[in-house]
């Protein structure tokens, strides 16, 4: 078992570590919204220039992700200087709550959530650079922005691999009611800038693995027009042969 603490205050493409089991933390800029996207307000107004980030745990082979957690003195924290965008119609606090058949409706694709590998209730989440499977077409004709900042456009590869998700999210010391920040309703008072815990975790029973030998596991998708920062503590496990 490996326990690793990470503090990320500035976003770059990849954070590398010499810790056993952990190769890196990858922050992917998944999409950058534009003025065309903002015209479709069903599900909530998305500010132009909002960035959708995906966070991956990149592990060595034979390792699995057991938990993302916070303890006293080493909090689990995800924060933005503004707010996290959440689709108020089809979104969910965890990826498994997002229905694959609804992803092509308005801004559902950019909902903020946490995960242990899933990109929806019927997809793995994978890096767009690893995707050779699918493009994405939105029913409302949006999410077509081809910003160089976000790399591959969703209209080419959408970073989803259709399959039953590898693992669902389990909670310890965190109630779903504490995840309002990732499951926003139309109640403005419910919006927040920081999710943090020093006595809780989201986890995967049996451990979460990547879809191939590169062993990357998606743990969050976060959309915001502010500056993102996060502190993570990870529990990894190795398969003993």
170-219, pLDDT tens digit by residue?
999 987 777 888 886 545 545 668 999 999 999 999 899 999 999 999 99
Task: Domain count for the chain, please give it.
Answer: 1
pLDDT at residue 1, rounded to an integer: 52
Closest alpha carbon to 221 in 31, 54, 94, 23: 54
For CA atoms 64, 179, 142, 32, the dihedral sign is negative
Residue 58 has pLDDT above 50, yes or no: yes
Residue 12 has pLDDT above 70, yes or no: no
Mean pLDDT, the chain, rounded, equals: 88
**pTM summary value:** 0.91
104-120, pLDDT tens digit by residue?
999 999 999 999 999 99
* CA-based max dimension of the chain: 55
What is the domain range of residue 152? 2-238
Measured distance CA(228)–CA(55) in Å, rounded: 11
Residue 241 has pLDDT above 90, yes or no: no
Measured distance CA(158)–CA(132) in Å, rounded: 9
Measured distance CA(12)–CA(27) in Å, rounded: 7
Residue 101 has pLDDT above 90, yes or no: yes
């Amino acid at each position: 078992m490996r326990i690793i603490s990470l503090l990320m205050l500035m976003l770059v493409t990849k954070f590398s570590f010499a810790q056993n089991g952990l190769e890196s933390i990858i922050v992917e800029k998944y999409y950058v919204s534009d003025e065309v996207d903002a015209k479709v307000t069903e599900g909530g107004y998305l500010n132009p220039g909002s960035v959708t980030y995906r966070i991956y745990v990149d592990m060595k082979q034979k390792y699995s992700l057991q938990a993302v957690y916070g303890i006293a003195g080493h909090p689990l924290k995800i924060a933005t200087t503004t707010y996290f965008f959440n689709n108020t119609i089809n979104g969910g606090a965890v990826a498994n709550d997002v229905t694959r058949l609804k992803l092509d409706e308005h801004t559902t694709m950019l909902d903020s959530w946490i995960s242990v590998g899933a990109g929806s209730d019927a997809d793995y989440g994978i890096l767009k650079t690893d995707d050779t499977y699918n493009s994405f077409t939105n029913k409302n004709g949006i999410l077509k922005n081809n910003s160089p900042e976000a790399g591959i456009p969703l209209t080419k590869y959408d970073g989803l691999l259709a399959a039953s998700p590898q693992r669902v999210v389990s909670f310890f010391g965190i109630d779903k009611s504490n995840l309002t920040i990732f499951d926003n309703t139309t109640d403005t008072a419910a919006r927040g800038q920081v999710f943090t815990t020093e006595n809780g975790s989201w986890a995967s029973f049996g451990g979460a693995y990547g879809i191939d030998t590169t062993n990357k596991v998606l743990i969050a998708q976060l959309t915001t027009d502010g500056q993102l920062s996060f502190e993570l503590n990870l529990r990894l496990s190795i398969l003993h042969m």
